[in-house]
A and B are shown apart, each in its own frame.
Chain A
Amino acid sequence: MIQHPGILALLLASALVGLLLAGAAALGLRILQGWDLRSGSEKQLALERRTYLVSSLVATALGVQMLSLFLFIFTADDLQGQFVGAMCAAGSLAVHAFGYPTLLLKLATSLLAGLWLVLHRTDLQGYDYPLIRAKYGLLLLLAPLALVEAWLQFRYFSGLKADVMTSCCGALFGQGRQGIAAGLAGLPPRVAQPLFWSLLGALTLMGCAWLRWRRGAWLFSLLSLGYFIAALVSLVSFFGLYIYALPTHHCPFCLLHREHGFVGYVLYGALLGGVVAGMGVGAVAPFQNRASLNQALPRMQARWVIASLGLAWLFALIVGLWAWLSPLKL
């Protein structure tokens, strides 16, 4: 294993996230088992108090996980010097099989923790804990994922040895290679571009339809997830090329560098925020007829629909303008 302050920080961070979420899930399980809102027994009161602890555990875990997501990419970037042929984070992650799964799982746990907080916020609006089961059910899914992520990350770092030959991002995301990453890059702009724009269109229509008729929240969430994935694919497949002004640089990480004005933070921030808000709309939809929520919920959902659409368009406008103004033509 390479001894690097960044690696130690990441190992610490994921150990803490694992600990926090495992603790939260254990509390959640006890809450699910003993819950009885009608009772005023001391046991029930104690359980209700634990819900405060659980939410502060999960909120902290989400904060740490977001930090750790970016720290992970940065560390991979910083380590590239130690691997022959690696020229950015993409190369370091490809050093062995645990790199990309760790990253994807980090992304997934961040999204789920964000979604959990959306459920939690909704739950707080109702006076009868309307989402208690959904919330703690999700937590039981989230905690094992975080533990697996911590383990994968440990495997990834402990398997790193300096000087291992690896591909640089130019080769890894280059066309004509095998693997998932290359598959994304290989998706020609002819396919990816219409897919991206039509998903944006469908998302916008669906959002407006929901705002008008309050129907189809599920579909909106699905589209929002679809847009998120399509946007990531398009970024690797062609939008990135315009930003780098290089016809072969299929890399999602270099966007975070100073050379590109840190535009990656805005883009990824918009995508992550947008997909969490978008998925939140559908996730709370089954509860919109609860007496305790039927006033507050539609207002919150409307806010999320607007936020999700706004962020989706922010992303699309930035990359679209960039592509339009770019001297590069694909």
Chain B
Amino acid sequence: MRPPLQRLRNILDFALASLSRRKGRNLSLLGVYTLVVFILASLIFFVQALKGEARALLAQAPDMVVQRMVAGRHDPIDLGRAQAIEEMRGVSGVRPRLWGYYYDPIYGGNLTVMAVEDAELPNDALWVGQGVARNLRVKQGDMITLRAYDGLPMLFTVQKVLSDASELISADLVLMSQSNVRALFAMREGTATDLAVDVGNARELPTIAAKIVERFPDARPILKSEILRTYEAVFDWRGGLMVVVLASAILSFVIFAWDKATGLSAEERREIGILKSIGWESGDILLLKTWEGAVVSLTAFLAGTLLAYVHVFFFSASLFDHALRGWSILFPRYRLAPSVDAYQLVILFVLTVLPYTVATLVPSWRAAMVDPDTAMRS
């Protein structure tokens, strides 16, 4: 090895040895550091995973949905309008959708009930998503009772449990025939919940949306890209807010680190004095301190990140249940699909390792400036 590299190696070896010589002190620092990285990483991974889920959810959604608004609220839309929209230029198809939310008192949550036209689905049967099957504890062939709008029970057989790639999509989904949906929610014939509009060229979406509003002033077209944008903004906003809150944690950690780094023990001061007196230069001591900081930082960063990965993707971020309840209503419990990229890691690195590094710069320099002749007088 060439001398400059060998110097780095030698001093790294010494740094590792001197870290292990002061285990107690360094382990407490490492513990706090890892905790800070863990919390922040969990949050960042969690938000990122939710964004990914939202994208997956919307991937199958239509490009545009048209609703009707009455008195500022969502109201069923006439099927006659589907015809009119289908005839507009650029529109390649319109599918009326019939759906609603059903509150299940036993499970204590909402189910999304949707109509499908499928010859294989008999009138007295329904299909449920995997999440529903789990939460209601039903399997294929079981019977389910749902209460209609007027309180009368409706009896169904579970004909099939949907096996969807993304659990999120089918988590709360119940599919039944059109007439059953109308009976369950008391929806008139000739209306739909909303209209899914397919457009040949995605660039024309805004134009077509404008035309629809012009034609039917009470219609509200919602673009998929708009929903996606809103979701992302909401997630980022929440995530950002949490980061700001966590910043105070980071700040206190930095103060803690500063304190640790500044409070050079008498023993350490003596050691540095000796090293300098036997031919180490200030730059060598700075390198020693840099290595020590790098070893601590990287260990804490790796450990914190790994723990956060396990926490978010194997335990569904269970520690955040209380803090982020808003999301768990939006998304029922499910396992998040792992999605971590270099960008997230760089953000995490900047938010945790950088403040620590900067906080220890001046104390390290101070330590390196111990006079070599102190060793002659101790």
Mark A residues whose CB is within 8 Å of B.
2-10, 12-13, 16, 19-20, 49, 52-53, 56-57, 60, 64, 67-68, 70-71, 74, 78, 81-82, 84, 162-163
Contact = CB atoms under 8 A, between A and B. Distances in A.
A71 B344 CA distance: 10
Interface string B301-341: 00000000000000000000000000000000000000000
A53 B346 CA distance: 26
A86 B358 CA distance: 35
Interface stretch (B138-146, B152-160, B230-238): B230-238
Given A53-B362, A53-B365, A60-B361, A4 B351 contact: no
Contacts of B369: 49, 52
A254 B355 CA distance: 30
Nearest to B364: A56
Interface stretch (B105-113, B179-187, B239-247, B259-267): B239-247
Contact of B232 (A16, A20, A57, A81): A81
Contacts of B240: 2-5, 7-8
What is the interface of chain A mostly: helix, strand, loop, or mixed? helix
B286 A56 contact: yes
Nearest to A84: B225
Contact of B228 (A6, A12, A81): A81
A5 B39 CA distance: 14
Contact of A163 (B229, B282, B368): B229
Given A7-B240, A163-B229, A52 B282 contact: yes
B228 A5 contact: no
A71 B346 contact: yes
28 contacts: A3-B239, A3-B240, A3-B241, A5-B239, A7-B240, A8-B351, A9-B347, A13-B354, A20-B361, A49-B282, A49-B369, A52-B283, A52-B286, A52-B365, A52-B368, A56-B286, A56-B365, A57-B361, A60-B358, A67-B349, A71-B347, A74-B346, A78-B343, A81-B229, A82-B232, A84-B225, A84-B229, A162-B229
A209 B31 CA distance: 57
A5 B233 contact: no
B351 A2 contact: no
Main secondary structure of the interface of B (DSSP, over half): helix
A13 B351 CA distance: 8
Interface string B245-273: 00100000000000000000000000000
B230 to A, nearest CB: 8
Interface in B211-233: 225, 228-229, 232-233
B47 interface: yes
Given A3-B236, A3-B240, A56-B286, A9 B351 contact: yes
Contact-size category for B: 35 or more
Contacts of B225: 84
A5 B351 contact: yes
Given A3-B241, A4-B236, A4-B239, A13 B365 contact: no
Nearest to B223: A84
B277 interface: no
A307 B43 CA distance: 42
Nearest to A61: B358
A9 B239 CA distance: 12
A7 B237 CA distance: 11
B178 interface: no
Nearest to B366: A53
A71 B290 CA distance: 24
Nearest to A50: B365
A6 B347 contact: yes
B343 A6 contact: yes
Interface in B161-193: none
Given A3-B241, A5-B47, A12 B350 contact: yes
Contacts of A10: 350
Given A12-B355, A20-B358, A81-B228, A67 B233 contact: no
A303 to B, nearest CB: 13
Contacts of B197: none
Contacts of A56: 286, 290, 361, 364-365
B346 A5 contact: no
A5 B282 contact: no
Interface in B274-308: 282-283, 286, 290
B82 interface: no
B343 A2 contact: no
A5 B243 CA distance: 7
B288 to A, nearest CB: 13
Contacts of A84: 225, 229
B44 interface: yes
A58 to B, nearest CB: 11
A277 B290 CA distance: 25
A162 B233 contact: yes
Contact of B351 (A12, A53, A162): A12
Contact of A71 (B233, B283, B350): B350
A84 B223 CA distance: 11
A68 B350 contact: yes
Nearest to B283: A52
Contacts of A2: 233, 236-237, 240
B357 A5 contact: no
Query: Which 5 pairs across A and B sit closest by C-beta, in order of nearness?
Result: A3-B240, A9-B350, A4-B236, A9-B347, A53-B365
A72 to B, nearest CB: 11
Contacts of A67: 346, 349-350
